[in-house]
């Protein structure tokens, strides 16, 4: 642990003393082609453990990474985020390139902002916060509300958390509660900690429940989802951003939910892979397949339970199994916590009463910040930050 902390401090100090490049990961670039570009022996990759090879396949196009080159153009070190929690670190030590996985030391803040509408909700939120993703998240949780009906003088109030890395927004904002005013009429959404769903001030749910099915009949789970874990014996961080289902070669694989195929083909250490985009920001990944069902192609719609492929061990795999990945708004999540029977109960009894009582504190805070804005007749946004002490 001390060695890793020291390496991270050395990397940070190099950022301060040298020019660090922040670049988008190019489309079509793989971990191996990146190594080839910097004449780094590919043995570095092939010597990695299975979980680390799979992490190298998680690098997404346009993901921003951080590069430090030597004066002669060779690689000194690079940090490549593969999730909100973990990043790949390649660095040179005594003329030899080494690899490790490190936690991402991001900063996080929570604030409440009031944005008076002067032009459009997208323009005004972007101008006030510089965070384009915040508008997209807001519109997603207020589906059905006609934002085009907003008039000058209406307000949007949002309490949200945002991560940042090296001074830039990192990942998507997490909206805790919000109010949207349309032609003087106010709409509310609040996130419940009980189930991460959104409800209005009366406890009426507005998050459509989306359920997945296990994509095959399996013998056992050979490797569980692990976001970020310090291994006390290996003395390093490990991560496995999916669930491995052990099954015989050739067993049928089915789509876990309705969606559209976004990728079908080979994907680095994942071998033959299918990626399906679903509604509500979900995406599923099916890796190490032996082959695909005939006729499947990119942009094709599939139904939950539809046959899409066969279990195999293509790519870097120690035996036949399905590596199943589930992502929510680009963030890897534990599929086994999402694949479950529908919960039709919602908020009831004491949970609902507590939730409604807490939303009253939110609404009061929202009204106060709007009153402050109106009294000041501010021409620019004055941000007001509240403590994150409301426990919905």
3 pLDDT band, cuts 50/70/90, is very low
Domains of the chain: 2-103 (3.10.450.350), 107-209+346-376 (3.10.450.350), 220-338 (2.70.70.10)
Q: Answer whether 133's CB lies under 8 Å from 127's CB.
A: no
**What pLDDT score was predicted for residue 96?**
93
What are the tens digits of pLDDT across the range 18-32? Answer: 578 889 999 888 899
Could you tell me which residue, 4 or 81, shows the higher pLDDT? Answer: 81
DSSP characters over 69-100: E-TTS-EEEEEEE-SSSEEEEEEEETTEEEEE
CA atoms within 13 A on the CB side of 386: 21
Alpha-carbon gap, residue 255 to 309, rounded angstroms: 9
Q: What is the chain's alpha carbon radius of gyration, rounded to the nearest angstrom?
A: 24
**What pLDDT score was predicted for residue 318?**
79
**What pLDDT score was predicted for residue 279?**
83
- Provide the mean pLDDT of the chain: 86
**What pLDDT score was predicted for residue 204?**
87
Beginning with the edge strand found earlier in the chain, give each strand of the sheet holding 75-81 in spatial order.
21-24, 64-69, 75-81, 86-93, 96-103
209 pLDDT band, cuts 50/70/90, is low
Could you tell me which residue, 5 or 373, shows the higher pLDDT? Answer: 373
How much is the average pLDDT of 234-247?
85
**What pLDDT score was predicted for residue 323?**
95
Alpha-carbon gap, residue 303 to 295, rounded angstroms: 15
How much is the average pLDDT of 69-88?
90
The C-alpha angle 96, 100, 104, rounded to 5 degrees, equals 135
How much is the average pLDDT of 89-94?
92
**What pLDDT score was predicted for residue 229?**
74
Alpha-carbon gap, residue 210 to 259, rounded angstroms: 12
What are the tens digits of pLDDT across the range 327-373? Answer: 988 888 899 888 865 555 567 888 888 899 989 988 998 998 888 87
What are the tens digits of pLDDT across the range 109-123? Answer: 999 999 999 988 999
What are the tens digits of pLDDT across the range 96-112? Answer: 999 999 988 888 899 99
What are the tens digits of pLDDT across the range 282-333? Answer: 999 999 999 999 999 999 999 999 999 999 999 878 789 999 999 988 888 8
Alpha-carbon gap, residue 16 to 10, rounded angstroms: 10
**What pLDDT score was predicted for residue 374?**
77
**What pLDDT score was predicted for residue 4?**
47
Candidates 239, 243, 220; CA nearest to 323 is: 243
Alpha-carbon gap, residue 340 to 211, rounded angstroms: 7
> Which two tokens mark 217?
């009949």
Alpha-carbon gap, residue 346 to 36, rounded angstroms: 53
Q: Is the pLDDT confidence value at 13 over 70?
A: no
Number of residues that this document lists for the chain: 392
**What pLDDT score was predicted for residue 50?**
81
> Which two tokens mark 137?
């998240």
Q: Find where tokens 């310090």 sit.
A: 230
Q: DSSP letter at 270?
A: G
Neighbours of 339 (CB within 10 A): 17
Can you tell me whether residue 109 is helix, strand or coil?
strand
Backbone angles phi, psi at 348, to 5 degrees: -135, 160
């Amino acid at each position: 642990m001390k060695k890793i902390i020291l390496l991270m401090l050395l990397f940070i100090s190099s950022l301060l003393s040298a020019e660090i490049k922040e670049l988008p990961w190019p489309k079509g670039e793989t971990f191996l082609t990146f190594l080839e570009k910097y004449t780094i022996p590919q043995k570095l990759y092939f010597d990695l453990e299975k979980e680390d090879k799979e992490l190298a396949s998680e690098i997404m196009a346009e993901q921003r990474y951080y590069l430090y080159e030597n004066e002669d153009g060779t690689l000194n070190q690079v940090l490549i985020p593969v999730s909100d929690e973990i990043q790949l670190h390649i660095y040179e030590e005594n003329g030899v390139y080494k690899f490790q996985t490190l936690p991402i030391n991001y900063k996080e803040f929570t604030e409440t902002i009031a944005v008076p509408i002067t032009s459009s909700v997208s323009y005004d939120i972007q101008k006030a916060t510089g965070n384009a993703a915040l508008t997209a998240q807001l519109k997603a949780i207020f589906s059905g509300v006609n934002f085009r009906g907003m008039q000058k003088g209406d307000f949007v109030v949002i309490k949200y958390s945002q991560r940042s890395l090296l001074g830039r927004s990192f990942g998507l904002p997490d909206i805790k509660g919000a109010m949207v005013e349309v032609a003087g009429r106010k709409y509310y959404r609040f996130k419940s900690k009980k189930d991460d769903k959104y409800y209005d001030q009366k406890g009426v749910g507005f998050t459509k429940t989306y359920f997945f099915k296990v994509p095959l009949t399996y013998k056992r789970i050979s490797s569980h989802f692990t976001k970020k874990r310090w291994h006390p014996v290996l003395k390093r961080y490990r991560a496995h951003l999916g669930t491995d289902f052990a099954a015989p070669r050739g067993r049928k694989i089915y789509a876990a939910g309705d969606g559209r195929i976004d990728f079908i083909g080979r994907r680095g250490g994942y071998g033959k892979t299918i990626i399906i985009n679903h509604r509500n920001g979900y995406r599923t990944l099916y890796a190490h397949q032996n082959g695909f069902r005939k006729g499947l192609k990119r942009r094709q719609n599939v139904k939950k339970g539809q046959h899409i492929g066969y279990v195999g061990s293509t790519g870097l795999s120690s035996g036949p199994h399905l590596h199943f990945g589930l992502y929510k708004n680009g963030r890897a999540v534990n599929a086994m916590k999402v694949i479950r029977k529908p919960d039709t109960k919602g908020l009831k009894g004491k949970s609902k009463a507590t939730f409604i009582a807490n939303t009253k504190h939110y609404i009061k805070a929202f009204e106060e910040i709007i009153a402050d804005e109106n009294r000041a007749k501010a021409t620019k946004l004055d941000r007001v930050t509240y403590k994150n002490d409301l426990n919905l």
